[in-house]
């Protein structure tokens, strides 16, 4: 994957974005700092160029083979230990680019680059040689012009208008990119007020974008869809939907499951799933999930099973599989194929066209668990959320069929 443009420009900018500036040290917290043999002294005594402005540039420090001294965050003897003498090569800007490219997800990098390019094109088209203006650091008046273009107050642009949430997101991304410029500075009181007015005017002119959440299925709809095969004819996708709802899995987690990631208990009534990584697990620590059988005890004693039980359906799927490879995809479908099948199954179950997304799988699991009497803490732990806010404010809000339920509130109230 090529590094995002913002990372390349971050290090190859003609102004040298990364600068290590001199700062005061607390000698009591850093013993031996002013010793002549200290690595810090070797940097302090360097002859800087006349135009350096009292700074030590990132490139000259990173390429030094003997010591990399981070004076912004290191406060102890351990931070001043020299690099091992057996270091085999010099580390340059390419290594820093490779590291910084992983600070955000690939999709986020692509989104940031797209917003930056659009803003740079707008700035280039709205200036002449007498009023030249660099895109960054951001000029608040130019940002206000860009917001006016996106809002399209006079309705002059033939293209489809931008949503309020999209415009506010563009402004937020540009402000984030602006922080990485070498001449970035805090906004003045006047500039902060202009920024607030730009955001407020955007909401007033374009209106508040209604939040469209993924639709949810009821328990009856989920039982009915367990007999259904998606239009593609891929039967394993129905099992993937049942397992995703029961385990509160994301579609990416379902698509990347392998045969060796699932293991049945000896009694066959539970399943252990190994999630190698997820969207909220950038460190790839992984997690283990335990999913139980959905059949009643009486059904289990008769050696029967419900079609909606994810354990028995998955066991039958693996039993009927022709390919015993332990590292093959569990549901024999790509990510895009699973997305299409899940959307089709949700649409068949609910009879809706809008809101039938892959997130419906995870939202349905949350709503069904809450209806079954589980509290938000239990749901958050099962779904691997950090806290209960997402469960309470996002996943349980605006579920499908809420209007019919609200129609009974007055009767139940009285």
pLDDT of residue 52: 43
Q: Where do the H-state alpha helices sit in 161-280?
A: 164-178, 189-206, 219-225, 236-247, 251-255
Interval 87-115: pLDDT, tens = 678 888 788 878 887 888 888 888 999 99
Interval 206-241: pLDDT, tens = 888 777 889 999 999 998 988 899 999 999 999 999
Interval 110-127: pLDDT, tens = 899 999 999 999 998 887
DSSP SS3 for 331: coil
d(CA 226, CA 34): 73
Domains, the chain, with CATH or none: 5-100 (no CATH), 106-206 (no CATH), 219-406 (1.10.443.10)
Please name the residues in contact with 391: beta carbons below 8 A apart, sequence gap of 6 or more.
Answer: 366, 376, 379, 380, 383, 385
Interval 326-354: pLDDT, tens = 677 888 889 999 999 999 999 999 988 88
pLDDT of residue 342: 94
Using a CB cutoff of 8 Å and minimum separation of 24, what contacts does 29-36 make?
A: 29/75, 29/76, 30/75, 30/76, 30/77, 30/80, 31/77, 32/77, 32/80, 33/80
Tell me which H or E stretch contains 264: strand 262-264
pLDDT of residue 306: 67
Please name the residues in contact with 102: beta carbons below 8 A apart, sequence gap of 6 or more.
Answer: none
Please name the residues in contact with 205: beta carbons below 8 A apart, sequence gap of 6 or more.
Answer: 151, 153
Residue 4: cis peptide before it, omega within 30 degrees of 0: no
The candidate with the shortest Cα–Cα distance to 196, out of 239, 147, 158, 245, is 147
d(CA 401, CA 406): 9
Q: Which parts of the chain sit beneath pLDDT 70?
A: 1-87, 129-131, 157, 296-306, 322-326
């Amino acid at each position: 994957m090529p590094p995002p443009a913002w990372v390349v420009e971050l290090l190859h900018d003609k102004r040298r974005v990364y600068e290590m500036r001199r700062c005061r040290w607390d000698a009591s917290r850093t013993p031996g700092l002013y010793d002549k043999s200290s690595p810090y002294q070797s940097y302090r005594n360097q002859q800087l160029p006349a135009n350096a402005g009292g700074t030590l540039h990132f490139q000259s420090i990173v390429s030094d083979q003997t010591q990399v001294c981070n004076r912004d965050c290191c406060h102890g003897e351990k931070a001043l230990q020299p690099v091992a003498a057996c270091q085999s090569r010099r580390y340059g800007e390419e290594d820093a680019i490779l590291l910084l490219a992983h600070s955000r997800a690939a999709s986020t990098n692509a989104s940031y680059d797209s917003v930056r390019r659009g803003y740079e094109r707008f700035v280039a088209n709205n200036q002449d040689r007498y009023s030249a203006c660099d895109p960054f650091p951001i000029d608040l008046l130019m940002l206000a012009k860009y917001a006016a273009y996106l809002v399209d107050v006079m309705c002059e642009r033939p293209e489809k208008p931008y949503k309020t949430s999209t415009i506010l997101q563009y402004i937020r991304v540009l402000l984030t990119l602006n922080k990485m410029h070498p001449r970035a500075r805090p906004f003045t009181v006047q500039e902060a007020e202009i920024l607030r007015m730009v955001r407020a005017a955007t909401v007033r002119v374009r209106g508040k974008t209604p939040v469209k959440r993924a639709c949810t299925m009821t328990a009856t709809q989920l039982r009915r869809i367990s007999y259904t095969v998606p239009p593609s004819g891929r039967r394993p996708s129905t099992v993937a939907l049942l397992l995703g709802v029961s385990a509160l899995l994301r579609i990416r987690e379902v698509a990347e499951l392998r045969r060796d990631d699932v293991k049945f208990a000896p009694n066959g009534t539970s399943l252990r799933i190994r999630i190698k990584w997820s969207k909220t697990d950038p460190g790839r620590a992984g997690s283990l999930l335990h999913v139980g059988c959905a059949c009643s005890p009486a059904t289990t004693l008769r050696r029967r099973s419900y079609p909606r039980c994810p354990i028995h359906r998955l066991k039958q799927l693996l039993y009927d599989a022709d390919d015993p490879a332990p590292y093959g995809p569990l549901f024999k479908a790509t990510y895009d194929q699973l997305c299409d099948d899940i959307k089709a199954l949700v649409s068949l179950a609910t009879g809706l066209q809008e809101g039938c997304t892959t997130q419906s799988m995870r939202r349905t699991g949350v709503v069904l668990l809450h209806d079954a009497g589980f509290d938000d803490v239990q749901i958050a732990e099962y779904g691997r959320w950090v806290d209960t806010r997402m469960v309470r404010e996002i996943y349980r809000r605006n579920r499908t069929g809420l209007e019919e339920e609200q129609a009974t509130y007055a009767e139940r109230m009285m």
